Structure formats: C-alpha cells, structure tokens
Structure 1
Amino acid sequence: MGDGRSRLDLQTDRAHGARIYDYILGGKDNYSADRAAAEATLQVWPALPVHMRANREFMHRAGRYLATECGIDQFLDIGTGIPTSPNLHEVVQEVRPDARIVYTDNDPIVLVHARALMSSTEQGRTAYVDADLRDPDTVLNSPEFRETLGPNRPIALLLIAIVHFIEDDEEALTATRRIIDVLPAGSYVAATIATADFAPEALAEVRRTYREHGETLRFRTKAQAARFFDGLELTEPGLVQMHKWRPDEHTEPADDTDIAMYAAVARKP
C-alpha cells in the first residue's frame, strides 16, 4: 500500500475496536487512544485478553469446519480487523488451496495493511474491500466481491466481533440480512455476537469505558443474538458461548464469566 498512511486519515484521536483488539493481542498497529481504551477496559474487566483470544480461536475453528466439513471454498469476511497471522485465508487454504476470500473492513489502518490479507495460494485468490457493514451494497456491488466470488456457489459469510459496533438492532439486522439474502442456497453464516449475559456488572463498565474513549459497544441477550440467524439452520451445538462451539485441542480453557460473546454457524437452506 506504499505511502497509504500519508494519504489516509487514520483517525488516531479516537479509539477503534480493531486497534484495541490488535493491542490486546500484542500487535503494533494501534495508537495512544486505542491503548488507553484497552488499559482502562482491563482495569474493569481483566478477562479481556482471554475473551479476545477465544474470539480469534472461534474464527479459526469455524473456518476449518466450513472448509473441511461443509465443503465451502468461498468466504466473505466482514469486519476483518488488522491482519494477525493466521488470517482466515491461511486457515482455509491450508485445507482448500483453491479457496477464495474477500475481506472487508472500514478502519483505514486495515486498508494500509491490506496487502498482508491479499497473499494467497496460487490456486486460490484473496481481495479486500474498504467498506462498512452498515452499507452492504458497497460490499455487494464492489468489483472485488463480484470478480472473486462466484454467485452461483455457496459462500460463507463471517461476521466476527462486528455487529456489536452497530447499536441499533434493526439497523444491524437489516444490514446483515441484506447480505444473507443474496447468498445462494447452501451458504453459511458464522458470527460472534457480544453479550453481557454472563458478567453484567463488569461488562456494563466495559461499555461505559468504550464510550468514554469514543467507541460504540452494544451487548445483546441470547434471544437478540439469535435473531441474526432467523431463517437459517443452526449447526451443532447451536448458539453458545464461543469457547463452547466445537472446542478442540487449541481451545484455551475459560470460565463462562470471561467470555462475552455468543457464537454460531448456520446454513442457508
């Protein structure tokens, strides 16, 4: 991306969820506002690193499951975040070298590093779209989406730790449904959705801390989270805390109170 940093407004004066996530995971693509928000959040909820690692682990497990057991070789990852290896394409192309992946994010620093997301096996392909989930038509009408993913074969839509940045329920549901509606039958949706069900007092403080640092955060109950999968067929074990979704030998043990997201993978009939 060359001198992209000089051309883009990186909005370093306010915290951004992707950069907070990057800082907690030990990355270097964050700024003082992001670090301040992360450290303040750790004061009120020390489990934040466990929670964020569990989110990353779910993405890896879901990606492998979709590529291996569901036969999916096309992926649309909205809310990609700052590249942290292994990224989705590395996970799925390990088992499906021909897999094609379109990444999407609205953080300008992710755009700066998008080249790391566009590496690929020779047989497969990756692309990046600079877009916001709130504007799904920008994603769907982009040449990157249209030229990378075939419209007549199943696509896996990943919404990993993204819908909690849209506070209004109907706006979040409408945006995600717009994308799901254009996916062909046999497609899948994998999502993690923030909740305060298991540690309400601590997570109320997390939400307050995020707001103080300029970032939105919306927790949803299990019933509210389930609405994102309306009309879809949940795979086993259904909608559960993300560390309980098909754990494997790489899944870090965690107390329920340390995990603030539901997760599920569902098939579009």
Structure 2
Amino acid sequence: MTDLSKLPAVDPEVPNAARMYDYYLGGSHNFAADRAAAERVKAAIPYAVDVARANRFFLHRAVRFCIGEGLDQFLDLGSGIPTVGNVHEIARNLGSRARVAYIDNEPVTVASAAALLEDDPLATITMADIRDPDAVFAAPGVRDLLDLSRPVALLTVAALPFIPDEDDPVGLAQRYRSRLAPGSIHVLSHGTADHDPAELRALGDVYRNTANPVTLRTRDVVADMLRDTELVEPGLVDATEWRPEDTIGDQHRGIWAAVGCIR
C-alpha cells in the first residue's frame, strides 16, 4: 500500500484529468480549477458528460464480463477517483471476492481511494506511474495481492490517451500483457477524434493546459494496442456499442472500446 504521508503536495490551481472526470460523473473529489476546465470542455463538446458516462458504463459491463469468465483478479491502471461504481464495487455486487489492485499517480485519487478501501482487504491503491510496469508489479499493493500465475483482468480504461506517443503506449500495453498468465483479459477504452475532429481538437486544447495533456488516436492505432489478443464480440467498437444493455441507436461517444483475451 502507498504510504499516504509520502504523497506529493497537490496544487489545486492546476486542473487534473482524474479530478475532472470525477466532476463529469458527479463526484466531489475535485477543485474549482478542475470544474472550470471541465466546463470549458463541456462548452466545446456539449455531450462531454455523456462521454464520461459511456466510458464508465463500458467499464461496468466489461468487469461483469470478466467475472462471468471466471476471473477474480483485476489490475486497474490509471484508475482515477473512486467515484461510485468502481471495479471492487461491481465485483462485490456480483458476490465476487475478486482482488482489485488500483494504480494511479494523482495524490487526491490515491488518498480518496485509500480511505474508501480501508476496510476492504481484497482491494489496494498504489501511487505509481503506469509508464513503469516493473515498478507497478513490484509495488506491495500489486505484488502481495495478485497471483500472476493465474489470469488477471488488465484494465486500461481511458488511461492510455494520457500516455504520449514518445512513451510508446502500444508497446506499453504489450509489456503489461507479457507479464500476465494465459487466460487473462485486457479491457481497453481510448478517446478518438475519428467522428468529431473539430470538437475533439477543442478538447485537446483544454487538456493541454492541465496536468494531463491528452492524445486522441485513430481506430487503427487503438486496434494496435490490442495486438496479439483475441477480441471478444463485438470487437473494437464505440463504447456505447460494446454489448449494450439497452438499444441506444447511433450515439457514438468518441471512445473506442474492446476486450481482448490473452492466449
């Protein structure tokens, strides 16, 4: 577990993507600067809150799929603020004793999650940079919780857009998968400007002035992030179209999403 006494200081004047996402979802773990930046995004993209919700609902469905496939271990990279409906809550609601290791590098996220998980021995939060898989896997909250000789669900849900091209997000995803046992599953979602390039460019402009610049990527690049996995039906689709529980029609939300099995 992360030593909370060693968390770096937070600058409340610098917007942060995790806290902005929390605001979109109606959470309270955010500052005025985060809310102001999120409102600028909403001004450019009126459906911004719907994007966040679509991503969260995809996470819910994907976690339920993983549990249905018998997985009981989750490694959630860039997990974000523990707003209601996080992975361990989904698992517990299904009666699963799944072990969940959350990873994030934002102090408010880590402190909030630590308080939330205090009474759950099967879930941990670790402060780490997901660009360093060796450090992530060596962290006590991961090493002592997950059994890597058995399948693990790797979650990179809206995490890799915050990894710039120079840090090779495609290779990074492969490095994580290479450490996992056959039968593991990679759950991925990633923002794109394929549908609404003008609006999404405006989003990029806002995030460039936060602690977490975002890189939106094409479907082909996102597909490459799941290279060598076997995609479950319906494959790589908009998040709203991945095994929807209701008929929602043509309502793309600018997020490519897929679940890939590691053989």
Matched, 1:174 2:184: no
Q: Deviations over 1:132-187 (max 9, x none)?
A: 11111111111221111112110000001110011216521222221110000110
Identity of aligned residues (%): 38
Query: Shift of residue 213 of structure 1?
Result: 3.9
Report the Cα distance in structure 1 between the residues aligned to 2:113 and 2:223, rounded to whole angstroms.
32
Task: Name the counterpart of 2:105.
Answer: 106
Report the Cα distance in structure 1 between the residues aligned to 2:105 and 2:95, rounded to whole angstroms.
28
Report the Cα distance in structure 2 between the residues aligned to 1:120 and 1:102, rounded to whole angstroms.
14
Task: Name the counterpart of 1:58.
Answer: 58
Asked if the contact 1:20–1:34 (Cα under 8 Å) also holds between the matched residues in 2, the reply is yes
In structure 1, the gaps of 5 or more residues are none
Task: Name the counterpart of 2:152.
Answer: 155
SS at match of 2:257: strand
Matched, 1:256 2:255: no
The size of the alignment, in residue pairs, is: 262
CA 233–7 in structure 1, closer or farther in 2 if over 3 Å, else same = closer
Query: Shift of residue 13 of structure 1?
Result: 2.3
Task: Name the counterpart of 2:233.
Answer: 236
TM-score (norm 2): 0.93
Report the Cα distance in structure 2 between the residues aligned to 1:166 and 1:255, rounded to whole angstroms.
29
CA 6–67 in structure 1, closer or farther in 2 if over 3 Å, else same = closer
Give 2:10's aligned amino acid.
Answer: L
| Higher mean displacement: 27-36 or 152-161 | 27-36
Asked if the contact 1:77–1:101 (Cα under 8 Å) also holds between the matched residues in 2, the reply is yes
Asked if the contact 1:33–1:213 (Cα under 8 Å) also holds between the matched residues in 2, the reply is no
Matched, 1:210 2:207: yes
Report the Cα distance in structure 1 between the residues aligned to 2:167 and 2:48, rounded to whole angstroms.
28
Aligned pairs for 1:15-54 (under 5 A) are 15-54=15-54
SS at match of 1:256: coil
CA RMSD, Structure 1 to Structure 2 (Å) = 2.2
In structure 2, the gaps of 5 or more residues are none
Report the Cα distance in structure 2 between the residues aligned to 1:10 and 1:143, rounded to whole angstroms.
24
